[in-house]
Structure 1
Amino acid sequence: MEGGTMLISDRGNPAHLDMAKMLQSKNVRQYFVLGGDGTHKGAMQTFDCTMEIDHECAVVGVPKTIDNDVPMIDQTFGFDTACTEATKAVNSAYVEAKGNANCIGLVKLMGRHCGFIAMNAALAARDVDICLIPEMNIDLEKVLKHVEHLMRTKGHCVMVVAEGCGDTLIQSSGEKDAGGNKILADVGPWLKDTITARFKTLGLPLTIKYIDPTYMIRSVAANSYDSTYCSVLGQMAVHGAMAGYSGIT
């Protein structure tokens, strides 16, 4: 099986009443929605619309976000696979940093509002010197000084930064995508340029190997844990719908 989705992902927002009427016209009696906060909010609005037009349809949500920031459950499906793949990217950054003179291996990982993937991959890789996540109150000057210290003493450094730092370390434009999510500034290249500029000012030699494995991480096939977990979630969702529940997750 391949990673990704068979039904295509889209951040658009069709009118929920139109969606409810479509379900009614097709005589759809069970409607399953996979996603995070925005997706579930939309599913509930669609559920309300099915009630308004008196269409009996079980609307059931399955919590999903690769970032693992859904508080109602311990872990979202896909997270374990993402961490496994992210760790490979971090290990590659270590090999590059260690194998080149005066080199920093810099990896940007997914995590819009949380650093679960970055933190878990950093812990699993065991060779990360600095891990920056959006939950932290980051002092950039201290980070730069520590990078300088590492390069002077070790000659190499491995850094991991979560994409959500594109709204904490630097300010995003405030623009939003079609789904209403804030478009984050790209913190990876920005951090690379910032570190490069600092070392140029100091007159110190430096090479940065930058890795952004975002699409590789989220497009791979599920590992055995996530595959089993998805089966359980899918079965429970169907059981709930068959039992007559609606507007649930």
Structure 2
Amino acid sequence: LCALPAWGEPQSWAWDDGTVPYVNTPMEVVERMLRMAEVRAGDSVIDLGSGDGRIVIEAAKRGARGLGVDLDAALVKLATRNAERAGVADRARFEVKDIFATDLSRASVVTIYLLPDFNVKLKDRLLALKPGTRIVSHDGSIGDWPADETHELRTPEKPVGLGGLSKIELWIVPADVHGAWTSEQPRHGGTWRFRIGQRYQMLDVQAVAEGRELVVRNTRLRGEEVKLVITGLVGSRPWHHYFVGTARGDAIDGTLTVSDGSAQTVYPWHATRDR
């Protein structure tokens, strides 16, 4: 383990010129951030404003590879030493770099502890990442993009703010599923048509089968995973429909589970986007 004094040396807040006044992220918050992002072996973690390197180092201990960027060369040197002391220098590296000049395209996880104004400036770049990429922030929203998960915890050792309250938020980059979709279910309803409106991961779905509009009760888009709960009459009988699929490009593939309350049947689900 890294010697405790190293963590006490001079995670990040940002001024308008892109520099970052250094504030430690409490280790309890680091642990929770990585847990919410489900960091594991095979992940590529990029920490924007990496300070003493603690997030990248803890991610590397979980088997991930990490890159931390910071404008402060002294902090980059400190983080590099801390990675060496922790025995993860082969999986944790640090660079002196502007967060806005950092290539994020290979990241499966992005971690941030920045002022909300800076998060807003990053929003479009984050949304353009591969669907399923996880973004986790300590004490900073990303404009009007609603978080997928939020967790608050008290951290008395937190050096800023009152009451030692930390807010951790997780976003999962959503796939693009907006538009009109068609699915053939020859054994249940024939041709299904879906019209999907999308704002970030929030969906507004209309569903029609056998020429009849059904009730869409619940939806969820989490990365590439689409879930729809739809009820209504099909073949003159009331049914509960549970669609679960993976969206890639102009196709969604998964399963449709139908139930009448006493028995259920599972069918393959394949939908294509109308072009």
Greater strand fraction, Structure 1 or Structure 2: 2
Larger RCO (CA within 8 A; separation ≥ 6): 1
TM-score (norm: length of structure 2): 0.24
Greater helix fraction, Structure 1 or Structure 2: 1
